[in-house]
Amino acid sequence: MEKLARTIDGLNTSIAAVVRWLVLFMVLVQFTIVVGRYAFGLNSIALQESVLYMHATFFMLGAGYTLLVDKHVRVDVFYAKATAVWQRRIEIFGHIFLLLPSMTALLYWSWPSVRNSWKIFEGPLSVGGIQAVFLLKTLIPAFCILVMLQSVSLLIRLMMQRTTS
């Protein structure tokens, strides 16, 4: 089980190592858009949409890694003052009864839209935009799967802690 957890961690770490470069590229593209518009009177809908695509890719594919390094949003009402044993119990409960079911529901309910988008190779959001909305929508199930996998990895570790303490 530890090997599975390490494999999942490695997957999300590798993806994060790639998508983190999108932030730099996104800033450079946004800078180019602003300079082009205000200095030269040039505008590109596709370039503007590319910033949206990069932003979405960064956040959606980086979410599993964010969960891995414990930088996700946590509603910290009881957790901060709880003992280590209760923190582990809260985390196990959260993964099993909140995170995994919500990701499963999102995956289930978004899949028809993603499938239909691929059937028609759904086009741009705006006239002159990027001809790949189907790729943008594919980020939703990818996000769900990566977060669910990372949740399983964390659950494996939480359960191993429980049995060893």
Domain ranges of the chain: 2-164
Asked which of 8-12, 88-92, 144-148 is least confident by mean pLDDT, the reply is: 88-92
pLDDT of 99 > 70? The answer is yes
Residues 6+ apart with CB under 8 A from 70: none
Find tokens 């009402």 and name the residue: 77
Q: What is the pTM of this model?
A: 0.92
- Provide the pLDDT for residue 75: 73
pLDDT surpassing 60 at residue 164:
no
DSSP 94: I
